[in-house]
Amino acid sequence: MAGTHVAARWEDSFHRRLTAYLKTRGWRPRTIPYVGYGGERFVRVLGRVVLGRRIEAEANADSAATPEELAEAVFTRRGWRSYVTAPVGYLPVTVRIGDVDYRTKTDRSGYIDVEIRDHGLAPGWHDVTIAARAARPETARVQIVGAEATIGLVSDIDDTVMVTSVPRPLIAVWNTFVRHGSARRVVPGMAAMYDEVIARNPSAPTFYLSTGAWNILPTLVQVLRTGGYPAGALLMTDWGPTNSGWFRSGQEHKRSALRRLRAEFPHIEWVLVGDDGQHDPMIYREFATEHPDRVAAIAIRELTPGEQVLAHGTPVANLDTVWTPRSASIPEVAGADGRELAPKLRQALEDR
């Protein structure tokens, strides 16, 4: 514990006491599988182990046909109850790929984030099994990206593919306690634009990069699927203290995720899609400046004045004075929604 921030020590102590109490009340470990990804030489398996109660909604999960349906059955329909849990830290976990078992354990917050080498999986979608001690084994989906992929899509979520119309300081509370994904509306034309990029580049992977908490992932999966968006891994973050401070940096989460993707897939050029409500243009332009040969294009959804107020308190974002300047060598397009962005992005990619 030496060197660990006091906030993290306090959180760990609270979780230990909460876990002990909930076990006396009959709560048990439950594994929440997340969508993972990999290349031909590695696969990243993601998930979380928490304590939870078995109620009617979980019983319905036994008939779920896919991991996404399982997530919806167990968590989305339960609303706020899916958050009345405690993470199970440092719990032994076995990940099974084919007939081979790989041992790992959860981190202090109950997360599973393990990279496995030489997995033997062909490019495409696969099921892997996550078996945590004392928990029912669960199936996680992973996408293996082939060496033939030359284009990849990275998309922000809030205000880019969907809009909550909630003031930014309240989004965390809203996302936690909203009962159904129908409370969010998708941005017109964005799903069709993504489908067009994938249709022109069938092997292209899609990643959804968000500063939102992992807790809301089941609801986001439901909204993305209902909205017709392509399947892909969601790279979220966690609330609460870290080993070095009280809060995590959402901007740094996005920066580090982009750099990791570049290192993991050095052969891919990325189409980066975000909005002008917060920091996406700055982060994307920084990345393009650092790695100009790895960015195919940047597409920015322009928020309405009302959405700008909800996003950061002012009616118009000052693109020229607040954000990193555009890179002259990287095409950047902007539009109110996918219907405006699609033809501009299509032309930018054709002109590469």
In angstroms, the first-to-last Cα distance of the chain is 51
Task: Give the pLDDT of residue 64.
Answer: 44
Q: 10 Å Cβ neighbour count for 201?
A: 20
Residue 82 has pLDDT above 70, yes or no: no
- Give percent of the chain with pLDDT exceeding 70: 72
The average pLDDT across 308-329 equals: 62
Task: Give the pLDDT of residue 321.
Answer: 43
Task: Give the pLDDT of residue 53.
Answer: 73
Task: Give the pLDDT of residue 76.
Answer: 41
pLDDT digit string, tens, across residues 225-279:
999 999 999 999 876 555 444 445 568 999 999 999 999 999 999 999 999 887 8
pLDDT digit string, tens, across residues 101-111:
999 999 988 99
pLDDT, averaged across the chain? 81
Task: List CB contacts of 310: < 8 A, sequence separation 6 or more.
Answer: 165, 166, 167, 168, 277
Exposure string for 63-88, b = 16+ CB within 10 A, e = fewer: eeeebbbbbbbbbbbbeeebeebbbb
Of the ranges 34-43, 67-76, 273-282, which one carries the lowest mean pLDDT score? Answer: 67-76
Task: Give the pLDDT of residue 222.
Answer: 84
Task: Tell me the one-letter amino acid at 207.
Answer: F
Task: Give the pLDDT of residue 310.
Answer: 63
Task: Give the pLDDT of residue 315.
Answer: 60
Residue 350 has pLDDT above 90, yes or no: yes
pTM of the model: 0.83
Task: Give the pLDDT of residue 280.
Answer: 92
Alpha carbons 135 and 112: distance in angstroms, whole number? 14
pLDDT confidence of 3, banded at 50, 70, 90?
low
Q: Delineate the domains of the chain, giving CATH numbers in brackets.
A: 6-144 (2.60.40), 151-350 (3.40.50.1000)
Task: Give the pLDDT of residue 133.
Answer: 96
For tokens 């993991």, the residue is 264
E strand segments, the chain: 28-33, 36-39, 42-52, 86-87, 92-97, 100-105, 111-117, 124-132, 138-144, 151-155, 162-163, 185-186, 206-213, 233-237, 269-275, 295-301, 332-335
Task: Give the pLDDT of residue 240.
Answer: 57
pLDDT confidence of 220, banded at 50, 70, 90?
confident
The average pLDDT across 110-125 equals: 96
